[in-house]
């Protein structure tokens, strides 16, 4: 069985897009469970969230390593500040990994979510947000 940190490192090495570090709340709906977490970083293809382990237990009670056959589907809602406007983004995501954080304080697990589908113009708004943030570097 593959070590979770090795799996995470291999996924990190395959990244196609730069990550924009943000600290923003995200609401997650998994089946009938409503969970709260924070977005750590975002890209056109996904987000890394930070959550407490109790919340993660609702999604992955047996702490399984995810494969194409068992990736949980999550509905996520978050807000991005785009050109002085607050944009609400709704998306369907697959969870790709979850790893414990050493210094996580109250948010002690990092989870990688890949965007599958966006509601409305969500993907265009996300791309505009990333372009906006990249131009401020």
Domains of the chain in start order, with CATH, are 4-134 (2.40.10.220)
Pair 17, 46: CB distance under 8 Å: no
pLDDT tens readout for residues 73-110: 999 999 999 989 999 999 999 999 988 888 756 678 99
Chain centroid to Cα 41, Å, comes to: 8
**Which of 18-22, 35-39, 77-81, 120-124 has the weakest average pLDDT?**
18-22
* Residue of 38, 32, 62 whose CA lies nearest to 52: 38
Pair 91, 106: CB distance under 8 Å: no
Tens-place pLDDT, residues 35-53: 989 999 999 999 999 998 8
Q: Which residues make beta-bridge pairs with 91?
A: 76, 118
How far is the C-alpha of 20 from the C-alpha of 129, rounded, in Å? 10
* 47: Cα separation from own chain's centroid: 3
Backbone angles phi, psi at 61, to 5 degrees: -60, -25
């Amino acid at each position: 069985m593959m070590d979770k940190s090795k799996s995470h490192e291999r996924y990190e090495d395959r990244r196609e897009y730069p990550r924009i570090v943000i600290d923003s709340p995200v609401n997650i709906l998994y089946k009938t469970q409503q969970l709260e977490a924070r977005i750590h970083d975002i890209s056109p293809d996904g987000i890394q969230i930070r959550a407490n382990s109790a919340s993660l237990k609702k999604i992955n009670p047996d702490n399984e390593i995810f494969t194409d056959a068992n990736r949980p589907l999550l509905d996520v809602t978050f807000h991005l500040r785009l050109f002085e406007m607050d944009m609400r983004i709704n998306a369907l995501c697959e969870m790709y990994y979850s790893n414990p954080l050493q210094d996580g304080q109250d948010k002690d697990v990092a989870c990688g979510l890949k965007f599958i589908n966006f509601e409305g113009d969500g993907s265009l708004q996300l791309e505009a947000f990333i372009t906006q943030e990249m131009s401020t570097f």
